[in-house]
Amino acid sequence: MNNLDNIRNDFPILSKKVNGKSLVYFDNGATTQKPNSVIQVISDYYKDYNSNVHRGVHQLSQLATEKYENARIVLKQFINASYKEEVIFTKGTTEAINIVASSYGRKSLSKGDEVIISAMEHHSNIVPWQMICEEKGAKLIIAPINNDGDLIMDQLFDLINSNTKIISLTHVSNTLGTINPIQEIIDTAHSYNAVVLIDAAQSIQHLPIDVQQLNCDFLAFSGHKMYGPTGVGVLFGKKRILEEMGPIQGGGDMIKEVTFNKTTYNDLPYKFEAGTPNIVGVIGLAEAIKYIQKTGFDFIQKQESALLMKATHSLSEIDGLRIIGNAKQKSSVISFVVDGVHPFDIGTLLDQLGIAIRTGHHCTQPLMDYFKIPGTARASFSFYNSEDEVGLMVEGLKKAVKMLA
């Protein structure tokens, strides 16, 4: 049985003091903290077997390669991919989406074709599609949302037609916390022979994901948002689709044979992993997944749901505060604005109390335009946070509002 105090002891930074106060870390949507086990395997790599992977015949290289490729198996099992070759290691969600847009999009899109995204997307799931649509003469179609932050599903389904080639959609909004009904969308998209990419950067750490059950064509996520290192992530793609795609970077490890006349590309997954990878990041990510599995999604969801419920109820009682995003299904993210107060000022004052939240547009500027606001204050919770910490944030907000309003 999980004990919150024991879990918090696994994360050394949570005992840190900030401005003389105990740290309250509510910026998990931007990046999560790392447990001791992840920190330890990173240290072990550099102390004990720091070496490059693949092709090395010496012992350190063979050990590093074994750990690196074992991590791929951990990832395969975690998302229930059919083949380990369907797991491509990337720098993160952004690079993963760019690979799909630049490789699959460049190959499959023609003038007049359509790509659908939603009004709540992160910039990393907007800009790559704008770029490839402009290059290929395709149209970028935006699925609308309502004032609660839910997709307007009947309008979304009306947009899907025989011209739709790609739908790229966030599973969970990083700003609103909205959990989108991706299964229904995938099924409908496939009935029109469109492929679907799911941006799971904000869901993979909160919800169990089975890519075979979802039947998504691509899935992208980042390690640092799921208790792993920065600079590492994953692109899952169906094997038959990945095999038809060309690499977008050339260099070492993505080749079988190079001559000045012709280069033969490597097999999956290495075709998409040019150059020396983030070896220690991959190993650390696998360890982070083991920590999530040890903790269990039942505990994670129960704990984070309780935090969101308490925060929503408490913040709703503060005069002049308005929550942005009241979707029917929400993850543990709450964004808000206060009448007459800039979010930056709220964040600055809370920081003086040792409370870390995020302020700004959260890389969702079109979403801010929709709500006609410059930005929000955002608290994003993890299972290692406590309801007492939510209480400290609420009391800090009351002081900030009284001082600033």
Residues 6+ apart with CB under 8 A from 379: 26, 311, 333, 334, 357, 358, 393
Is 363 an annotated catalytic residue? yes
pLDDT of residue 1: 53
pLDDT of residue 381: 98
pLDDT of residue 37: 98
**Cα 307 to the center of its chain, rounded Å:** 20
pLDDT of residue 264: 73
Pair 45, 283: CB distance under 8 Å: yes
pLDDT of residue 314: 97
Tokens of 73: 């198996």
Residues 6+ apart with CB under 8 A from 312: 323, 334
The yes or no reply on domain 4-30+296-404 and CATH 1.10.10.2840 is no
117, 206, 290, 305, 345 from 297: Cα distances, Å: 28, 7, 12, 12, 35
pTM confidence score: 0.95
Q: What are phi and psi of 3, to 5 degrees?
A: -120, 125
Burial class (CB in 10 A: 0-12, 13-18, 19+), 171: buried
pLDDT of residue 92: 97
Q: Residues 152, 363, 373, 404: which is the catalytic one?
A: 363
Residues 6+ apart with CB under 8 A from 205: 32, 225, 226, 227, 292, 300, 382
The residue written with tokens 């910026």 in the block is 27
Tokens of 239: 């094997």
Pair 89, 222: CB distance under 8 Å: no
pLDDT of residue 255: 65
The yes or no reply on domain 40-293 and CATH 3.40.640.10 is yes
pLDDT of residue 274: 83
pLDDT of residue 404: 83
Select from 18, 10, 321, 358 the least CA-distant residue to 177.
358
Q: Where are the domains of the chain?
A: 4-30+296-404, 40-293
Q: What is the pLDDT along the chain (405 residues), one digit of tens a residue?
A: 579 999 999 999 999 999 999 999 999 999 999 999 999 999 999 999 999 998 888 999 999 999 999 999 999 999 999 999 999 999 999 999 999 999 999 999 999 999 999 999 999 999 999 999 999 999 999 999 999 999 999 999 999 999 999 999 999 999 999 999 999 999 999 999 999 999 999 999 999 999 999 999 999 999 999 999 999 999 999 999 999 998 887 776 766 676 687 777 777 788 998 888 999 999 999 999 999 999 999 999 999 999 999 999 999 999 999 999 999 999 999 999 999 999 999 999 999 999 999 998 999 999 999 999 999 999 999 999 999 999 999 999 999 888 887
pLDDT of residue 267: 75
